[in-house]
Structure 1
């Protein structure tokens, strides 16, 4: 069901979880930059249980960097990312694909940044890759020129992830229950373990595993787009060793990887603690991506 009133000023809902910043957004906040330097569209996939108000802070940061870009943000719950099937996740991302890519023509004119936050954001970013193919053909990959991975991906080994997944879901649902947080986390641990056993029984691939795999397949996620990994050694939900391990796999598959480590920042808290470093890394890598595109055409 389409939401008719946006929870964030300046955004228009195109589904109950996808919001677009109006095309006529005020661009007077910063001097206009040459069009070739700006992305045409930026898609921010928020962290699990992130509110529109909080995820919109990242859209605001992008708007200051690229005032002419259309910006979409995707809001998702951690629990849905875990239990939904791939088909359900694809269906949830089809409105996004229809808004950004109504046809498969003139894709060369689009310059896209994908920004995934935490594992939930990565799971729905991967669903958007599949949704694009669902609409426009299995032989086409969603075009993008920079992929930003903020506090993601984590380990794809269930035994090492279940404790952190249960804590993440508990953080998003603790307000629903009167008992201590640890009780909520233990309940979710049991639920996640049951989901894991069910998936094994029916032969369904776990969402975290599926999303990591999608971003390693050239036919789904173009190797043309550099991967910028934003992470911290003090992230208590996504360990830095897992981010670096996943980045190493991506590099071995032919993807350009850039590692941006932040000091003492929590999970998806790098922008809040280190805004200059955060937005500087994004802008510098976008410029490098544009320069790479220009060199490939000469």
Structure 2
């Protein structure tokens, strides 16, 4: 499929998904927190110049004032879903609200550039640029970057892993070049991953066949749009920046933080690969909590509920927020 056709289809489905997101974020109660403020920054890691937005969600007692007694806040950097092609950083407002209402953390959701206009690995590099920018400006925003965590949903869950890996590589490069002193280095202490993809060397049919309890949610033509827009040629799909599930042990030990929480869907095509990865990380000495939400398909927490609420979503978010308490203590 030509890049022009891919872009036209992507634009169409971005409009469609924003329509449904409107019902979730503006018509389903209780309403989530609105964005506190936005900052546009440049991508410094990518070889493709460009800019993107950071959406800040802050707890009620947050202030940007600079006094000796001003509280420093733990930092959660979030990566949204959408197959790397659709979606927006504001889509995870409910998750951000759960964090800011139950912790002192600041959530920054990254509106990284999307494929097909910006295919692999530009989105990952934008997110690494966001991390480095936030670390550089931590004092300005009263952030405790020694307590940095990542979160992500679906494609953003993949980014939670791959941004950690790419960040590890970038910091090593900067150290070798003697430029690391220009960055106040934070510490990645935790990952929160909701139904993240981990093995792109597998076909979609293989992923479907791996779950006997599959609940189809995303049509195949949309998967085809995602994959043709974002993915590189097949031989390159074993890259740790696409398939962290098959990355070398040493890289995972060095790049990923000591603790994670993984919330997976019982009816998801990604369940088997996510659970394999969970078992592998435990074997590498990582502390991995979380559970499988039974009876739901991929992206179940993003469905508009209007006045009905979503008990499974609330429980999953509680578990995820609770997982932040220890690394943020």
TM-score by length of 1: 0.64
Partner of residue 27, structure 1: 61
Partner of residue 196, structure 2: 152
> For residues 52 and 290 of structure 1, what CA distance do their matches in structure 2 show?
23
RMSD, aligned α-carbons: 4.4
Deviation of the 1:119 alpha carbon: 3.1
Partner of residue 177, structure 1: none
Deviation of the 1:13 alpha carbon: 2.7
CA contact (8 A) 1:231 1:270 kept: no
* Structure 1 residues 213-252: aligned runs within 5 Å: 213=247, 217-222=252-257, 224=258, 226-235=259-268, 237-238=269-270, 240-252=271-283
In structure 2, relative to structure 1, the CA distance for the partners of 1:153 and 1:81 (3 Å cut) is farther
In structure 2, relative to structure 1, the CA distance for the partners of 1:80 and 1:246 (3 Å cut) is farther
2:80 is paired with a residue whose SS is strand
> For residues 113 and 161 of structure 2, what CA distance do their matches in structure 1 show?
13
Partner of residue 5, structure 1: none
> For residues 149 and 138 of structure 1, what CA distance do their matches in structure 2 show?
29
In structure 2, relative to structure 1, the CA distance for the partners of 1:122 and 1:186 (3 Å cut) is closer
Partner of residue 260, structure 1: 291
Instruction: Considering fraction of residues, name the structure with more helix.
Output: 1
Partner of residue 51, structure 1: 88
CA contact (8 A) 1:90 1:131 kept: no
Deviations 1:65-118 (A, max 9, x none): 12x322111235774599323xx345412431233211899x986212211211
> For residues 196 and 52 of structure 2, what CA distance do their matches in structure 1 show?
21
CA contact (8 A) 2:199 2:244 kept: no
How many residues align structurally?
A: 250
TM-score by length of 2: 0.59
CA contact (8 A) 1:20 1:72 kept: yes
Partner of residue 30, structure 2: none
CA contact (8 A) 2:53 2:110 kept: yes
Deviation of the 1:233 alpha carbon: 0.9
Deviation of the 1:276 alpha carbon: 3.5
Higher RCO (CA 8 Å, separation ≥ 6 residues): 2
Partner of residue 147, structure 2: 111
Is residue 60 from structure 1 mapped to residue 97 from structure 2 by the alignment? Answer: yes
Partner of residue 3, structure 1: none
Structure 1: segments with no counterpart, 5+ residues: 1-7, 29-37, 165-169, 172-180, 292-298
1:146 is paired with a residue whose SS is strand
Is residue 41 from structure 1 mapped to residue 85 from structure 2 by the alignment? Answer: no
> For residues 152 and 244 of structure 1, what CA distance do their matches in structure 2 show?
10
CA contact (8 A) 2:124 2:163 kept: yes
Deviations 1:185-237 (A, max 9, x none): 48648947x965x352x798374225763895222223x2x1111012122x4
